[in-house]
Amino acid sequence: MNDIVLQIENVQQHYEQGDNVLSVLKGANFSLKKGETVALVAPSGTGKSTLLHLAGLLETPGDGEVYIGGRATSTLDDDARTAMRRSELGFVYQFHHLLPEFTALENIMMPQMIAGLSYKEASERAAQLLDYMRIGARASHRPAELSGGEQQRVAIARSVANAPLILLADEPTGNLDPETAGYVFEALEALVRQSGLSALIATHNHDIAALMDRRVTLRDGQVAEF
């Protein structure tokens, strides 16, 4: 259990829709090991985003437990959950969600400074991450001045700026053309491998999924090996 960084145990999640109850997860189980990359490949509407939201402490399960780094999270208050998201979890979405008024460098500095790093420390780490993502020359550009692939690489760099334990990504290359998606995922995978991160990545791209350590899917509310 020591090498398990994320454990989803017998999780159920239901949503009320008028007079009906929609059961999305039905006693789902999943584990992610330290340094492991796992692709979540499943059709829309099967619960991919729900699973990621639960793993990212953005939702609380109706039943069951989510463990982050071996720590149960269901009884944590909002402040503790926020602190854990900030220190242990990194998020990448289909849309980059960069702050338009700030440069690429500043967008990556922001979470570090919120976490307490000095301007100098945050700036140096942000510059290193941009260089690692091969877009160091674009550090002073605002998001509108970057291509889609460059924007997403900045978003990836921002997601790992605070050295999280786990990276969660929801269709991180979904808005990109196939060639650009390949470049972006190559950079993402290299960053994950180099940093020893664990990653759970939802994707419809089977070529990208095939490059990861494991592939899982969702069937009738359960996580199953692909």
- What does the radius of gyration of the chain's CA atoms come to, in whole angstroms? 17
Please check the confidence at residue 32 and state whether its pLDDT lies above 90.
Answer: yes
Edge-to-edge strands of the sheet including 63-68? 20-33, 4-17, 63-68, 71-72
Q: How high is the mean pLDDT of the chain?
A: 87
DSSP 2: T
Output the six-digit token pair for 41. Answer: 């490949």
pTM for this prediction:
0.86
Q: Round to whole Å and give the CA distance between 52 and 58.
A: 8
Q: Is 223 helix (H, G, I), strand (E, B) or coil?
A: strand
Q: What is the pLDDT of residues 64-118, one digit of tens each?
A: 999 999 999 988 999 999 888 888 998 887 777 899 999 999 999 998 898 888 9
Query: For the chain, how are helix, strand and coil distributed in percent, rounded to 5?
Result: 35, 30, 35
Q: What is the pLDDT of residues 1-28, one digit of tens each?
A: 468 999 999 999 888 777 787 788 888 9
Which residues lie below 8 Å from residue 99, measured CB to CB, with a gap of 6+? 106, 107, 110, 143
Residue 152, strand partner residues: none
Higher pLDDT, 11 or 182: 11
Q: Report the Cα–Cα distance between both ends of the chain, in Å, rounded.
A: 23
